[in-house]
Structure 1
Amino acid sequence: MGAVSGVDPDAYRRAVGRFATGVTVVTTVAGGTDQAMTANAFTSVSLEPVLVLVCLDKDARVHDAVLASGTWGVSVLTEGARPAAQWFASVGRPVHGQLARVPHHRGPATGVALLDDALATLEVATRAVHDGGDHSIVVGEVLAVATPVAEAGPLLWHRGRYRGLAR
């Protein structure tokens, strides 16, 4: 049985919201249908082997699709990709054709959709899934990487808003 912290969830959200994170779009193909969602809970885990993780809300459609497919993509977004981040974060968007409005290509290692104007893309195979409360922590081995956009600032999430780096 886990400990009960007594921490107010809104206070917690405000506190962790002060930690700036990059913004990604996680994609997969399950049952012949592309799935995608905006995620900022993504990080590098290991260099040997090359591992990353993403935390997926258990209620999100892409959660079950990633677990079923076993392969997924990560597109690290540029400042100019705010509309894509907002679209893939919107609740109730259609399942079919959700990638139609965003330029993308298929990854050579997995066939998942990767955004064309990403700072970096990764193709990943799931190695482990851990319970993380209302999220699953999905650890995957990186199968392929690319850096399609050389010169652009990253899209960040800080204090509940999309932001760019001050230059």
Structure 2
Amino acid sequence: MHSIERHADPGTYRKVVGRFATGVAIVTTRLDDVDHAMTINSFTSVSLDPLLVLFCAEKVARFHDAVMAAGVWGVSILPASMEDASRFFAHRGRPLNGQLVRWPHHRGGSGVALFDGAIATVECATTAVHDGGDHSIVVGGVTALGMPSDGPPLLYHEGRYKSL
């Protein structure tokens, strides 16, 4: 029989939720002609009517304030071949200028950057923001969809990148 902790600590919590395999994406926004981007694995479909998705942004991340002010954002769902991009955009404090130049991308209708190598892209306009502890839960109405490339998805499981 497996044990159940009644008073879970943050370390155990991370291990437990890390057993849920997730896809990996990069969320982007554009504010005052500056691109902002951040790796996420907290992306999910919410509703088909209307079309809604969500992601979670850590409140202390500079991306948080940028996406709140911009009100529009894009999600590029990554293939296994873009692990390098995922690692890059997961690092805090990198310079904003020129951060996208290593990866081919295009502008969606809202002006946000979308990665050409992504296996799927979603553009959104923020419809709601909910408190989620140290994160904000950002809900967006879908304004555009794309499938610019194909390939196996990049996955994250138990603290490591994996692929199918």
TM range (shorter): over 0.9
How far apart are residue 91 of structure 1 and its match? 1.8
For structure 2, the residue ranges without an aligned partner over 5 or more in a row are 1-5
Q: Is 1:34 paired with 2:35?
A: yes
* d(CA) in 2 for partners of 1:30, 1:111: 10
- 1:160 alignment partner AA: G
| CA RMSD after TM alignment | 0.9
- 1:24 alignment partner AA: A
* d(CA) in 2 for partners of 1:73, 1:67: 13
* d(CA) in 2 for partners of 1:49, 1:156: 27
In the other structure, the counterpart of 1:57 is 58
In the other structure, the counterpart of 1:111 is 111
How far apart are residue 95 of structure 1 and its match? 1.7
Identical-residue share of aligned pairs (%): 60
Q: What aligned pairs does 1:38-117 form with structure 2 within 5 A after superposition? A: 38-107=39-108, 109-117=109-117
Q: Which runs of 4+ in 1 moved over 3 A?
A: none
For structure 1, the residue ranges without an aligned partner over 5 or more in a row are none
Q: How many residues were matched structurally?
A: 159
* d(CA) in 1 for partners of 2:99, 2:128: 27
Q: Is 1:163 paired with 2:159?
A: no
How far apart are residue 61 of structure 1 and its match? 1.1
* d(CA) in 2 for partners of 1:92, 1:138: 22
Q: Is 1:134 paired with 2:130?
A: no
- 1:34 alignment partner AA: D
- 1:137 alignment partner AA: I
- 2:52 alignment partner AA: L
Secondary structure of the equivalent of 2:136? strand
* d(CA) in 2 for partners of 1:114, 1:90: 19
* d(CA) in 1 for partners of 2:99, 2:60: 18
